[in-house]
Amino acid sequence: MSLLEKPRQEIWSGTVVDCDVHAVVPSVAALFPHMERVWVNWLTEREYPGPGHAATVYPPALMTTARPEWRPDDGRPPASELALLREHVLDLWGVDHAVVNCYYGIDNVRHPDLAAALASAVNNWLIAEWLEPDARLVGSMVVPARDPAAMIREIERVGGHPSIRQVLFPVRNDRLWGDRIYHPVYEAMVKHDLVMGLHWGGTTDGPPSATGYASWFAEEYASEWSNFGAQITSILSEGVFRLFPDLRVSVLESGFTWVPVWGWRLNKEWKALHRETPWMDRAPFDVMRDHMRFSVAPADAGPPAAMKHVVEWLGTEDILMFATDYPHGHNTDISALLGVMPESMRPKVMSESARAWYRL
């Protein structure tokens, strides 16, 4: 969110960790220095401009894609350079750290080798041009979704880099992420102590909702929380945390006000039906509180009196993490959100939970 309305120290005088800022690939040519020659040739021979899918989930001119003050006057794409991130977020907020996520829509590329090559190139670009030049930054690596073997190869290749703390998983996929074919991917991740970053975006095999295609972007965007809910339910039900007790999941750009209600429903079904999934030995909402964190951008906040209850219903002070989600426009009023929390919860949200989560 913008600081134009209030000085930073007035909003929050303690330390800040921003757990979701974006790096936007300005053009496929920006990746050329970071990919093998054979793929540079492949792309230039065809003049393939790169996967356009990011523009489907973030239509370029929409307010939700970038706040006006974050669109450079000179026409550079928003959030396409470290210098812009520094000017708009890192220096302005005086962050201790920020977690950089690059959603490039690679999940939309069906060519298995090109998808893997683009993922490697984005990771190389991110490390060289964002993470290494600025000590405040750590980042998520990207992987070619839907190909577990290729995901594991890329995790083995860059997952051990000191600036890489998370693997970005788009919320939409051909299969639910709890599915057993992905369990070896989680095994590789916990070896490198990488967080799973479940984020808006992705490509489904059919309609992006559980019950058909939405007609408008606004409709699709507003109902995306149900996809987050389905993915969380899958990860819990498939026993992923039972197998990998050290695995942590950040849920990003999902909103969080729906989480307690979803947790109650999961608990209710578990009480009656746990014989179906006997490895679920604890109430799912408890497991969510231990293994998952939610960013506050968007907050999707209701009136403050009601939000106070939502924060209580979450049942733990550790579960929310501050994010600007730069450059996306959510108009989250962080002051109002902090105002409905107990005082002891505010430093956890603004930096301490993310510090522990990402080992900063």
Partner 1 sequence: MNDGGAKVGPRAAGGPSRYVVARVEEVREGERLLVEVGGRAIGIFRIDGEFHAILQRCPHAGGPLCKGPLLEHVYADRPGEIRSDPDKKFLSCPWHGWLFDLKTGQSWWDPHQTRARRFPVNVEHGDVIADAADSGKAGPGPYVIERFPVSIESDYLVVTMRPRVGARGPTDASI
Q: State the Cα–Cα distance between residues 144 and 138, nearest whole angstrom.
A: 20
Q: Is the Cβ of residue 180 or residue 359 nearer to partner 1 in the bound state?
A: 180
- Minimum Å gap between C-beta 3 and partner 1 is 36
Residues in contact with 193: Cβ distance below 8 Å, sequence separation at least 6, in sequence order:
246, 359
Residues facing residue 100 across a β-bridge: 21, 139
Q: Is the Cβ of residue 168 or residue 236 nearer to partner 1 in the bound state?
A: 236
3-state secondary structure at position 137: strand
- Minimum Å gap between C-beta 342 and partner 1 is 14
> Which of 18, 154, 238, 253 touches partner 1 by CB under 8 A?
238
> Which of 33, 149, 279, 309 touches partner 1 by CB under 8 A?
279
Whether residue 327 is preceded by a cis peptide bond, meaning omega within 30 degrees of 0, is: yes
Q: Is the Cβ of residue 262 or residue 322 nearer to partner 1 in the bound state?
A: 262
Among residues 124, 183, 100, 121, the alpha carbon closest in space to that of 149 is found at 183
Q: State the Cα–Cα distance between residues 291 and 284, nearest whole angstrom.
A: 10
162 lines the binding site for partner 1 (CB under 8 A): no
Stretch that binds partner 1, among 10-18, 192-200, 234-242, 291-299 (CB under 8 A): 234-242
Q: Is the Cβ of residue 238 or residue 352 nearer to partner 1 in the bound state?
A: 238
The footprint of partner 1 on residues 301-340 (CB under 8 A) is 315-316
263 lines the binding site for partner 1 (CB under 8 A): yes
What element of type H or E holds 20? strand 17-22
Residues in contact with 221: Cβ distance below 8 Å, sequence separation at least 6, in sequence order:
64
The footprint of partner 1 on residues 164-203 (CB under 8 A) is 180
**What tokens were used for 229?**
């809910």
Stretch that binds partner 1, among 35-43, 73-81, 270-278, 299-307 (CB under 8 A): 270-278
Q: State the Cα–Cα distance between residues 251 and 122, nearest whole angstrom.
A: 21
Stretch that binds partner 1, among 167-175, 267-275, 293-301, 322-330 (CB under 8 A): 267-275
Q: State the Cα–Cα distance between residues 51 and 172, nearest whole angstrom.
A: 16
258 lines the binding site for partner 1 (CB under 8 A): no
> Which of 134, 267, 308, 317 touches partner 1 by CB under 8 A?
267
> Which of 1, 158, 280, 334 touches partner 1 by CB under 8 A?
280
Q: Which pairing describes strands 164-172 and 292-295: parallel, antiparallel, or unpaired?
A: unpaired
Stretch that binds partner 1, among 23-31, 53-61, 281-289, 344-352 (CB under 8 A): 281-289
Q: State the Cα–Cα distance between residues 227 and 258, nearest whole angstrom.
A: 12
- Minimum Å gap between C-beta 237 and partner 1 is 9
Q: State the Cα–Cα distance between residues 112 and 120, nearest whole angstrom.
A: 13
Q: Is the Cβ of residue 124 or residue 277 nearer to partner 1 in the bound state?
A: 277
Cβ-contact 148, 181 below 8 angstroms:
yes
Residues in contact with 211: Cβ distance below 8 Å, sequence separation at least 6, in sequence order:
none
273 lines the binding site for partner 1 (CB under 8 A): yes
344 lines the binding site for partner 1 (CB under 8 A): no
Q: State the Cα–Cα distance between residues 297 and 256, nearest whole angstrom.
A: 9
265 lines the binding site for partner 1 (CB under 8 A): no
- Minimum Å gap between C-beta 321 and partner 1 is 20
Residues in touch with partner 1 (CB under 8 A): 180, 238-239, 242-243, 260, 263-264, 267, 270-275, 277-283, 285-286, 315-316
